Amino acid sequence: MSENQPLVVSRVDEEHSVLRRRFQEYGYVYFKRAIAADKCSSLLQAFLQQLRPHIDYNEGSGKLLLNGEPFFETDPIWDEVYPKMQSLYDFHNFFHQEDAQRLMQSIAGEKIFVYPMKMGRIASPRKIGFETPPHQDAHSHQAGPTMAGIWVALHDVHEGMGRLKLLPGSHKDGVRQVFSAEGVGGVQCEIFAHENTWHVSNVEQGDVIIFHSCCVHKAEPNTTEDAVRISIDTRFCDYGAPVSPSNFEPHHGWRIEGFDWDSIYQGWSDPKLQYYWRDYAETA
Ligand SMILES: O=C(O)CCC(=O)C(=O)O
């Protein structure tokens, strides 16, 4: 039997040494409303334009509602909408702005490298069993111990909507064995018998979770009738740490025909972020 406890809350104005100690203790830090709500809403609305008619925004409840059939990562609907979401400059730029950068620096030091691969998650209702299984990013991104994940809630996410859940302290036991599983990523890692307390909370728009590359995490099933959860995440490390070559690809660029950086960058008026990672990739 596993039980839930709330995520341990950190504050952005805490000393970096305190945040890093907490990160090493639990394997994650959680910041409330660390990214401005209007920035999250603006990206969410841009996503929703690409997601029509499959997902609608309900002005009254602020909820994202599934229209029609549920879909998950790699389903035909997802393959059709995801490259359009990925083509948004504001999505990629989100993690290169000062607010997000400061959070990453508080854990990894002044000079960081943000991975080019940015992930958008669409946790659909009525797809029970296809949610993100428990895993470690050290395995899925073939990364070393100084890589970390940063996950941002683009809207409030309540119980039942597929919250992100972490296994505190699980990063201390290294990289674990994996087994194949249904759901995002297709693998799940070993969970030890004594590990029965997970950390999870209802999160608000702009809340940020930063987790260690070995911290086991998963999504809860989305058990709602029609409410979709959309969040974004990426990976980062201290500048100079090795980055495995597959992380220089767009997320799912390896399996969607014609979906590559050129196709992502083609509508961008600002070239600043285009191929910013190339020099790093050449020396990594
Ligand atoms: O948001 C999710 O469902 C999965 C996020 C995740 O597993 C990750 O960022 O590594």
Q: What CATH number corresponds to the domain at position 109?
A: 2.60.120.620
Residue of 228, 233, 234 to mutate, ligand 1, most atoms within 8 A of C-beta: 233
State the residue range of the domain holding 186: 3-283
At 39-78, the pLDDT tens digits run 999 999 999 999 999 999 998 988 999 999 999 999 999 9
Higher pLDDT, 157 or 59: 157
The answer to whether residue 284 scores a pLDDT higher than 80 is: no
At 214-243, the pLDDT tens digits run 999 999 999 999 999 999 999 999 999 999
Q: Quick one: pLDDT at residue 193? A: 95
What spacing in Å lies between the alpha carbon of 188 and ligand 1's midpoint? Answer: 12
Q: Quick one: pLDDT at residue 101? A: 98
Task: Say if ligand 1 is within 6 A of residue 143 CB.
Answer: no
- What is each CA distance from 260 to 83, 92, 128, 251, 275, in whole angstroms? 9, 14, 30, 9, 12
pLDDT band at 140 (very low <50, low <70, confident <90, very high): confident
What's the total number of domains in the chain?
1
Task: Say if ligand 1 is within 6 A of residue 230 CB.
Answer: no
At 16-46, the pLDDT tens digits run 999 999 999 999 999 999 999 999 999 999 9
What spacing in Å lies between the alpha carbon of 126 and ligand 1's midpoint? Answer: 18
What spacing in Å lies between the alpha carbon of 70 and ligand 1's midpoint? Answer: 18
